[in-house]
A and B are shown apart, each in its own frame.
Chain A
Amino acid sequence: DGGITQSPKYLFRKEGQNVTLSCEQNLNHDAMYWYRQDPGQGLRLIYYSQIVNDFQKGDIAEGYSVSREKKESFPLTVTSAQKNPTAFYLCASSPDRGGSDTQYFGPGTRLTVL
């Protein structure tokens, strides 16, 4: 089965804790992305990576961190510095580093801060 997987599907965090969201793809895509989705809003880019061991900040990177040690994996850490972390987090990948190709999304992780 080819595709993008995200885990866990639901995640609960206490205030002040860091949590890491997993994103794995076996599509051999170069580029990977993390977005945040809030009700009634468009997707907002947190971080993206066009190649292994390299990544760039998106529009709302504050309070988040990522790593890209392997082509298949792009985990996102939501740190305690993120003021409003409750949201639906979506990971995507694309075969094209340049952005002129389709991005394919995982099923998402819903993070709730208690």
Chain B
Amino acid sequence: GESVGLHLPTLSVQEGDNSIINCAYSNSASDYFIWYKQESGKGPQFIIDIRSNMDKRQGQRVTVLLNKTVKHLSLQIAATQPGDSAVYFCAENIEGNNRLAFGKGNQVVVIP
């Protein structure tokens, strides 16, 4: 099927290395952020989230960092594996709003 990763920024990573994926957001009133992983032809899968009262949150092999000063969010994947190849995108919720705003995403390609 047609890949959602077409025309997206691509990060090529050697298997076993760490990956860092970045996301800039525009609204300083955003108070909740999510990272999703989407494989070709599938629906987005929740990876990790963070609220604005935190700077860092860790999951299994993943860490999300939030820098509210520069409105920047990053996702770090440790020891990247071939199964990590996908499009990753961030989403933000503005306090009081009842919807999420999604970034376009970054394609991650893991080289065996």
Contact = CB atoms under 8 A, between A and B. Distances in A.
A binds B: yes
A90 B43 contact: yes
B7 interface: yes
Interface string A29-48: 00101010101111101001
A42 B43 contact: no
Contacts of B105: 42
A2 B91 CA distance: 24
Interface residues of B, number: 32
Given A39-B4, A42-B103, A110-B1, A50 B42 contact: no
A105 B45 contact: yes
B6 A106 contact: no
Interface residues of A, number: 30
A40 B49 contact: no
Contacts of B34: 102-103
Nearest to B98: A99
A108 interface: yes
Contacts of B95: 100
A40 B6 contact: yes
Contacts of A107: 42-43
B49 to A, nearest CB: 6
A105 B55 CA distance: 26
B104 A99 contact: no
B8 interface: yes
A42 B98 contact: no
Interface string B74-98: 0000000000000001010101111
Interface of B: 1-8, 31-32, 34, 36, 41-46, 49, 89, 91, 93, 95-100, 102-105
